A and B are shown apart, each in its own frame.
Chain A
Amino acid sequence: MKGSTKKKIEGYLFIFPWIIGLSVFVIYPAGYGLVLGFFKFDIFNPPKWVGLRHFMELFTEDPNFLKSLSVTLRYIIFSVGLRVGAAFFLALLLNQRVKALGLWRTLFYTPSIVAGYALALLWNRMMDPQYGLVNVVLRFFGGPTPNWFGSEPLAFATITVMSVWSVGPLVVIFLAGLQGIPQELYEQAEIDGAKMRHRLIAVTIPMISPVLLFNLVIGCIHATQLFVEPLVMTNGGPNNATLTLLLYLYRNAFSYLKMGYAAAIAMIMFLLTLGMTLFLFRWSRRWVYYAGSG
């Protein structure tokens, strides 16, 4: 046996357990879930083929689905912008040589390890119009004290802003990217008279653009899966203003026992995620700079 063949076999043997796990626990359920969208299925009785009926119903007869799609798309746009922007800004700050840097980094990462359910409950308390911390502070400074879940735009905005709370992982990725930028580039820019703003635009952003792309892709996928916060904090309300695709999928699957219909929603979520990712990669050709690619 040739050495290269042997190496290949060894490689496959090493990844074999992982491939088994991926096939059984990810690929098969995901594929089955996608196929299920063409069937009427209530989990208890055998699936019945309905063709494209679920998809037709989703787009022509189901205003709740269209609303949840709209909510999810808006959430993706606003929350990804906010999260990536906030993470980049925090990473820039945490990349400075300041005292107790380790402590600051830990502090900003800590919210990310809090379970989503607990976080949602905490925010629910904080946003209480009468007794919540946010309004208490606003009242102290003489500001307005809105009912954060009392109107559609405010409820949506509250859930969106809340997403910034857990930017820790994005910050860590940005930090790693920032620390990989050669210092010579900054020194050279300084010699050329570039100020901080110019260094950011001409050096930092181009050099970190692959990381930015990564965070955008991950951020979009993460945002598409928003579930716990609206479930716990608003139950999708008021007037479905925070009804996300995943929450609507959950309702159909487990409250209405419409697994096939829910699977059709899952397929649309999959296509949405795929479409966004492809778009980002295509778009990235125009602005992402890979230093090693020449």
Chain B
Amino acid sequence: MRGFWRFALMATVATYLLIFIGGVVRVSGAGLGCPDWPKCFGRWLPPTNMDQLPPNIDPSQFNFTLAWIEYFNRLCGVAVGVLILITAIWALKSFRKFPKILYPALAAAVLVALEGWQGGILIALELQPLAVTIHAVLALIIVSLLIYLTAQAYYLENAPRNESVYPKKINYWIGSLWILAVIQILLGTQIRSSIEIIRAQYPLLSELEWLSKVGGLKHLHVTLGFLVAGITGHVGSKIISKSSQPFRIVIQSAWAAIFLVSAQLLVGLILLFVGLPPLMEVFHLWLASLYVGVILVNYSALKASSGE
């Protein structure tokens, strides 16, 4: 049993890294770097020169850099899959009586296998926007399950005293923030898809010009973004200043949420005014996934320490 939460934390961190790598693959346009799946140009390691290309492949389709970017994502995916599988087996052996750990671990293992398989479909569909969105959303669900079970395992070893008192109804606020954040992520992926469609119609315009054609969805996303930031700042500072004998994790995750939402707002404004710098797009989705995780930790820590 000992060491389980540390291992689960490692799997969570690795999954967050993988989400970042997946974002880089997306914005660098390397998603079809390998036109086949699971092999790359018919090989278990991508070709390093033209002679290794199978005869049925047009050599002009081959780009060494893009193939390796995509393949690195797949290799990391396999590594993360193994980590999650070990987590699930460990949970099955030692935490059968702890449904808050067991079920998320099993679900994460099933979903990570599904995610890998869906990655193959994504390539067969030539990165169709909905399939890309599903790939990202599945990753978010997996990392949420992992972070939740890690927190639960941590509370087992470091049991919070049940004497904390938090501001009234604060857990409803945290729950609402979680829902708002999920809505924001879905809106964001929708905006990403419409840019993709606009881009196909007007291939020669600049990023700022594409963005200006997005319209209503974008305004909603920005408005909600400010709202989420405002509520996070308000609720977070209330938790930090108005709790009595709070659990350490509650306070730390509140600070983390405030920090993340500020960073996210900054990155969002950069996207809006500088015109979608690719690296900032990656950080935008990645910060969102961290925010959702931190909110989950905060919620579970509130529950675990307030005697509910």
A joins B in a complex: no
Q: Which residues in A have some Cβ–Cβ distance to B below 8 Å?
A: none
